[in-house]
């Protein structure tokens, strides 16, 4: 899937529509014009442009509109100004978290360097905004380190799930007495999803955020001594005993403040960023040329003329 289309699926809902007049101006966002030239440089296939009435063009223009709305809001609210030097650095040394969307154009079909720069810009805006919003949370970054360490800590953890706190207590006592984890797990929790009771992501990696298992479970996983059975702890499916094998989090408050996005749980990032982005787009002054269509009230994107 092309970068620009993939990124559109990550963007939130906007609710505005209007019209522009200039034949070269396709849209205006907060008094900034988006022109035909801004659009056609995104794809080699646009070099022989003969019509603006295509779904791909409307999707690409929607991305430019949304990106301008987010960029403007980040600058106005937080002073987060993305420079060409910032974009160049991001393209040269992209964080692993953005490897799928910031790559050389030749790795994608019908994508130019300008399109990849849009992806890089979006990632920089997202990083800057999330850092500001996280710092404004109750307790700020220090609170995350001390009160909700599960928000900034990935763990490699094994679990034995039981139906009651009594069963979990028995499992814990057996493990503390030195019994083998897999042997106890096979007897107490024979229907484990993964061998050995590991919690993994869709790629089989065991260093994961475990917030979806519940606050109590996630906090214990983020704080329990390594390689020592811990529990019982309530989870979404009953009572668990866990064994934390490995853990990755910020080594210090300074490390977290320097790059919050490196450590923050992806669900936490979404909770912080999505409402802000929705508001930024909703509150933007957006006008779309009637020759292209209208800004859809049903979702992100431009509806064709007449619809």
DSSP secondary-structure letter at 294? E
Q: What is the pLDDT of residues 159-213, one digit of tens each?
A: 988 888 999 999 999 999 999 988 888 888 766 667 778 888 888 888 899 888 8
Domain residue ranges of the chain, discontinuous segments joined by +: 3-137+256-303, 154-248
The pLDDT, as a whole number, for residue 15 is 26
DSSP 268: H
Give the sign of the dihedral formed by CA 242, CA 245, CA 248, CA 252: positive
217 touches 210 (CB < 8 A): yes
Which residues of the chain are modeled with pLDDT < 70?
1-23, 48-53, 105, 190-193, 297-300, 306-307
Return the pLDDT at 50: 61
Cα–Cα nearest to 51, from 26, 15, 22: 26
pLDDT of residue 8: 35
pLDDT of 205: 87
Burial 62-96 (b: 16+ CB within 10 A, else e): bbbbbbbbbbbbbeeebebebeeeebeebbeebee
First to last CA, the chain: 26
Instruction: Among 3.10.50.40, 3.30.565.10, 3.90.120.10, 1.10.10.10, name the CATH number for the domain at 154-248.
Output: 3.10.50.40
3-137+256-303 CATH, one of 1.10.3210, 1.10.3470, 2.40.50, 1.10.4030:
1.10.4030
């Amino acid at each position: 899937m092309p970068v620009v289309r993939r990124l559109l699926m990550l963007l939130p809902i906007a609710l505005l529509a209007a019209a522009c007049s200039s034949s070269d101006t396709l849209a205006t966002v907060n008094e900034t014009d988006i022109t035909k030239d801004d659009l056609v440089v995104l794809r080699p296939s646009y070099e022989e442009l003969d019509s603006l009435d295509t779904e791909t063009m409307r999707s690409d223009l929607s991305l430019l509109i949304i990106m301008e709305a987010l960029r403007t809001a980040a600058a106005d609210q937080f002073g987060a100004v993305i420079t060409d030097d910032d974009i160049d650095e991001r393209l040269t040394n992209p964080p692993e978290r953005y490897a799928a969307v910031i790559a050389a154009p030749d790795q994608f079909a019908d994508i130019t360097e300008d399109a990849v720069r849009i992806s890089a810009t979006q990632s920089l805006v997202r990083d800057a905004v999330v850092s500001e919003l996280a710092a404004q949370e109750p307790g700020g970054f220090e609170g995350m380190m001390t009160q909700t360490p599960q928000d900034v800590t990935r763990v490699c953890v094994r679990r034995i799930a039981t139906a009651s706190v009594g069963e979990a207590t028995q499992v814990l006592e057996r493990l503390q007495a030195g019994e083998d984890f897999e042997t106890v797990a096979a007897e107490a929790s024979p229907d484990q999803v993964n061998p050995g009771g590991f919690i993994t992501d869709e790629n089989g990696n065991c260093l994961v955020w475990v917030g979806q298992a519940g606050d109590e479970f996630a906090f214990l996983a983020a704080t329990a001594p390594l390689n020592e059975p811990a529990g019982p702890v309530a989870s979404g499916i009953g009572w668990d005993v866990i064994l934390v094998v490995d853990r990755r989090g910020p080594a210090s408050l300074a490390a977290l403040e320097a790059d919050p996005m490196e450590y923050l749980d992806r669900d936490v990032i979404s909770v912080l960023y999505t409402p802000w982005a929705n508001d930024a787009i909703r509150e933007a002054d957006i006008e779309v040329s009637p020759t292209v269509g209208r800004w859809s009230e049903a979702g992100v994107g431009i509806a064709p003329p007449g619809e």
